[in-house]
Homo-oligomer: A and B are copies of this chain.
Amino acid sequence: MERKIQLKESDIPRQWYNLAADLPTPMLPPLGPDGKPITPDMLAPVFPMNLIEQEVSTERWIDIPEEILDILYRWRPAPLKRAVYLERHLQTPARIYYKDESYSPPGSHKPNTAVAQAWYNKEFGIKKLTTETGAGQWGSALAFGCKLLGLECKVFMVRISFDQKPFRKIMMQVWGANCVASPSSETNAGRKILEEMPDTPGSLGIAISEAIEEAVTDSSGKTRYSLGSVLNHVLLHQTIVGLEAKKQLESAGEKLPDVIIGCAGGGSNFAGLSFPFVADKINGADIEIIPTEPTACPTMTRAPFAYDFGDTACTTPLLAMYTLGHAFIPPPIHAGGLRYHGMAPLVCQCIVEGLMTPKSFNQIKCYESALLWAQTEGAICAPETSHAIAAVIDEAIKAKEEGKEKMILFNYSGHGLMDLTGYDAFLSGKLIDYSLPDEELEKFTAELKNLPKAEIRKSGKW
């Protein structure tokens, strides 16, 4: 039995899968400041029209341009691996497979969409992309994508990360991006904040405001903004992960998985793996699909389904999603990518439908799982990815208890080589668990009452 299931370049998926085509109930539309559904042209100053078209598309299959594949071949098709060493350790009858997305040069699944977005922007005549980044995983992926396509890239990095995590900043510079600490003196939004609070550590909300301002105020009209998760087109670009996995499982003589797991912050790596299988579930397949999140940021497991802003600065359209409230202040847990207050609307609609069953994990259990992974499978995973592994271990133990030969598939979304301080805190006993208290949840979600109400649309089939 091969532990690494490889695909040839010639077997790479040539179309992305768009779940919007198969949803049993239609999505709620994004709303503008007037509470009315926004139209594509309202997004035109922020995104290029070809990506806006993807954002609203309900076509089931969308061709992947050959030029994008030519770039992805640097690391794709990514291997599907069998976690035999973990299986042996757990003495589980379960077969555990995972897509290894840590092989991309920036070290995660993020470049799958960064490259695609850079390509569509270039195709539309755009010369420069702006974005924000927290710990730097998305910023480095976009820097990478822009460099390979010859676009300029400017990344507004939250100041505290800029100062404390210099390595991802250096990565971005290696790929030619201009990475500045946010708030910066280069935008009105940044200057205003710096005047009021010169010592602020910054926030993702401020960085988003700066990145959008820099995009929409470029008088040449050749700059756009880029987002690394949440939106439909971003999730679409990630479906290559699940589509590859399907082919690989087939070539290994496997049928559909019994359980599919992925960590979900904005939802993109999880959706990328699971959406092609959600289609099978809609068609009757018996698959348990589990997005996982931290107990510290329990968007899918405890937050209401409501219309909310995508950013803390209230500049985006209102999205119908599970949300802890745009004013949510995440606790300082180590999985920086899982601290977002909302969740991709497509993922949320699947949860509403009952197609997915989210679970939450505290960070000590996640690091215990990551350590067991490193000491059996060998590799050091990202703190985000550990939230998937924690669920995988639970499911494998359950399979053992039930004596069932389940097949589990999960997304190994990235490596943890740039995030070792979390391991250090865990190993030295300094890590603390954190579950969001009820009163905090109530406080942060209180403001949602002042926004349009999101109607729950449910087919009732799951």
Interface string of A407-447 (1 = CB under 8 A from B): 00000000001101101100100000000000000000000
Within 8 A of B (CB), among A69-113: 73-75, 85, 103, 105, 107
Residues of B within 8 A of A174 (CB): 371, 374-375, 380, 420, 423, 427
Within 8 A of B (CB), among A165-185: 166-167, 170-171, 173-176
Q: Looking across the interface, which residue of chain B has its beta carbon closest to that of A167? A: B420
Give which listed residue, B10, B417, B427, contacts A173 with CB less than 8 A: B427
Q: Does A21 contact B (CB under 8 A)?
A: no
Given contacts A6-B6, A417-B417, A417-B418, A173 and B379 within 8 Å (CB-CB): no
Q: Does A377 contact B (CB under 8 A)?
A: yes
- Cβ of A378 and Cβ of B75 under 8 Å apart? yes
- Cβ of A377 and Cβ of B166 under 8 Å apart? no
Q: Does A401 contact B (CB under 8 A)?
A: no
Q: Does A255 contact B (CB under 8 A)?
A: no
Count A-side interface residues using an 8 Å CB cutoff.
39
Shortest A118–chain B CB gap in Å is 13
Give which listed residue, B148, B167, B171, B377, contacts A74 with CB less than 8 A: B377
Q: How far is the CA of A374 from the CA of B3 in the complex (A)?
A: 29
Shortest A94–chain B CB gap in Å is 19
- Cβ of B175 and Cβ of A424 under 8 Å apart? no
Q: Does A162 contact B (CB under 8 A)?
A: no
Interface string of A37-75 (1 = CB under 8 A from B): 000000000000000000000000000000000000111
Residues of B within 8 A of A14 (CB): none
Q: Looking across the interface, which residue of chain B has its beta carbon closest to that of A378? A: B105
Shortest A169–chain B CB gap in Å is 9
Q: Does A8 contact B (CB under 8 A)?
A: yes
Looking at A2, A74, A418, the one whose CB has the most chain B CB atoms below 10 A away is A74
Q: How far is the CA of A254 from the CA of B448 in the complex (A)?
A: 64
Q: Looking across the interface, which residue of chain B has its beta carbon closest to that of A416? A: B174
Given contacts A85-B74, A103-B103, A424-B166, A380 and B171 within 8 Å (CB-CB): yes
Q: Does A144 contact B (CB under 8 A)?
A: yes
Residues of B within 8 A of A166 (CB): 420, 424
- Cβ of B374 and Cβ of A175 under 8 Å apart? yes
Q: How far is the CA of A10 from the CA of B417 in the complex (A)?
A: 30
Q: How far is the CA of A401 from the CA of B459 in the complex (A)?
A: 67
Q: How far is the CA of A176 from the CA of B171 in the complex (A)?
A: 28
Within 8 A of B (CB), among A344-378: 371, 374-375, 377-378
Q: Does A147 contact B (CB under 8 A)?
A: yes
- Cβ of B4 and Cβ of A170 under 8 Å apart? no
Within 8 A of B (CB), among A130-172: 144, 147-148, 166-167, 170-171
Residues of B within 8 A of A380 (CB): 105, 171, 174
- Cβ of A170 and Cβ of B107 under 8 Å apart? no
Q: Does A286 contact B (CB under 8 A)?
A: no
- Cβ of A379 and Cβ of B8 under 8 Å apart? no
Give which listed residue, B8, B105, B107, B171, contacts A2 with CB less than 8 A: B8
- Cβ of A423 and Cβ of B173 under 8 Å apart? yes
- Cβ of A378 and Cβ of B144 under 8 Å apart? yes
Pick the 6 closest A-B CB pairs, nearest first: A105-B378, A170-B420, A105-B379, A74-B378, A6-B6, A170-B424
> What are some 15 contacts across the A-B interface (CB < 8 A)?
A2-B9, A3-B74, A74-B377, A74-B379, A75-B378, A107-B417, A148-B375, A170-B423, A170-B424, A171-B380, A173-B423, A174-B375, A174-B380, A174-B423, A417-B418
- A6-B6, A144-B378, A171-B417 are known; give 15 further A-B pairs, CB within 8 A: A4-B9, A74-B377, A74-B379, A103-B103, A105-B380, A147-B375, A166-B420, A166-B424, A167-B417, A167-B420, A170-B427, A173-B423, A173-B424, A174-B380, A174-B423
